Amino acid sequence: MAASKFKIALVQLFVTANKSENLARASKLISQAAGGGANLVALPECFNSPYGTKYFPEYAEKIPGESTNMLAKAAKDNKVFLVGGSIPEEDGGKLYNTSTVFNPEGELIAKFRKVHLFDIDVPGKIRFQESETLSPGSGLVTFDTPYCKVGLAICYDIRFPELAQIYTRRGCKLLLYPGAFNMTTGPAHWELLQRGRALDNQLYVGTISPARDEKASYVAWGHSTLVNPWGEVVAKAGHEEEIVYSDVDLSYVDEVRSSIPTSNQRRADIYKLQDMSQN
């Protein structure tokens, strides 16, 4: 029978401009998280590179490549499921913001390319256009663990509730979003969006941010978080480098879903959600 509880570790890595240093520290923190009892370890968006359109072409790699080879080894050495945050990926002359997932044998079991690119312009605050250098992915990705099915997306994707609903309909009990919100949208929307997705879908939602670097051109908000199916924050980092641990209690997902059975109360006669993706 599948275990009804497992331990997750959200690794809020301090990302620098030095790729080798980022990989070495990520590897060390993955071991530390496994040593702390985590069954599933997750890294932040852009864990091997500063977050910025000018950096993506310079730091981009093929998959497999240097960064994903490190992830495969770390997953195998530490016998954990590993969600490798994301990296800038180069494929066929295009760049993507890509997350990879490895099982405890070190095998690549999922690859997700950020579907919604972060193109925003908040007057006087922040303008960011990921599409200057990145292309969007076109598929949705879930992966299986012995504990539950997990849905994967990246940062800005959390603003699109349909994606989370589709993952829920596919049977996920946990959604993970490596993400790097900023000093404008972080305080306003980061926790609210996670609690919204968790409550709407009655599942766990985990977000994994880089630690805040006040000197970086893009200052990440930090505050990696786990929210439960009741919409409560059960674990939350500050803004510095740290590992946040929490139990994920799958029986609580079932309990919340049976107490407030919204998924059986949908009015398919007046609205519907359509899953058009191929995977």
Interface contacts to ligand LQR7VSFR, rule CB under 6 A = 118, 155-156, 159, 180-182, 185, 189
Map residue 207 onto helix, strand or coil.
Answer: strand
Minimum distance, C-beta of residue 175 to ligand LQR7VSFR, in the bound complex (Å) = 15
Strand partners for 128: 120
Looking at the Cβ atoms of 239 and 257, the one nearer to ligand LQR7VSFR is 239
Q: Which helix (H) or strand (E) holds 177?
A: strand 172-178
Minimum distance, C-beta of residue 127 to ligand LQR7VSFR, in the bound complex (Å) = 12
Cα dist. 96→87, 138, 153 in Å? Answer: 8, 11, 13
Looking at the Cβ atoms of 33 and 134, the one nearer to ligand LQR7VSFR is 134
Looking at the Cβ atoms of 32 and 184, the one nearer to ligand LQR7VSFR is 184
Instruction: Identify the CA nearest to 174 among candidates 125, 230, 126, 226.
Output: 226
User: CB nearest ligand LQR7VSFR: which residue?
Assistant: 185
Looking at the Cβ atoms of 105 and 119, the one nearer to ligand LQR7VSFR is 119
Find out whether 174 and 150 touch, Cβ atoms under 8 Å: yes
Known catalytic residues? 45, 114, 155
Minimum distance, C-beta of residue 94 to ligand LQR7VSFR, in the bound complex (Å) = 18
Minimum distance, C-beta of residue 182 to ligand LQR7VSFR, in the bound complex (Å) = 5
Question: Which residue has 């849905």 as its token pair?
Answer: 151
DSSP string, 24-70: HHHHHHHHHHHHTT-SEEE--TTSSS-SSTTTHHHH-B-SSSHHHHH
Looking at the Cβ atoms of 140 and 155, the one nearer to ligand LQR7VSFR is 155
Minimum distance, C-beta of residue 100 to ligand LQR7VSFR, in the bound complex (Å) = 18
- Count of Cβ atoms closer than 10 Å to residue 44 Cβ: 28
DSSP string, 133-156: T-------EEEE-SS-EEEE--GG
